[in-house]
Amino acid sequence: MTTNISTFTLPQSGTLKLHIVLERKNIDLVKASFLEFPSIHIEAPTKKQALEELNQLLYARLENLEIIPVEIKLSQGETGNHWMKFAGVFKDDPDFAEIAESIRAERNIDD
């Protein structure tokens, strides 16, 4: 496994696409949060007010954040299917073939 940490930081003028989650708590309360930043959330009486206050919180938070991309590359052995080493183990085993046929026959019995 190899970890590469980039020194690239997002430019201030870059575009950051986020998803807003709106939840109606009751008739008089709307909860708004960012899917990507669940700790940033607000409750307000209207949807419009919740969105405005949520954006203000986000901009205040982003002023103090540094986003560093991290890339983790897994070695070939770690990315493969770990069960493949067992494939074909019972290929020429007559006992296993008999057991498998018995299981198939049971599945086909009408109850």
Give residue limits of the domains in the chain.
Answer: 20-64
Amino acid at 83: W
Q: List per-residue pLDDT tens for the chain, 111 residues long.
A: 555 555 555 555 567 789 999 999 888 999 999 998 889 999 999 999 999 999 999 989 888 877 787 888 776 655 567 788 888 888 888 899 899 899 999 888 875
Residue pair 32/21 in contact (Cβ under 8 Å)? The answer is yes
3-class SS of residue 80? coil
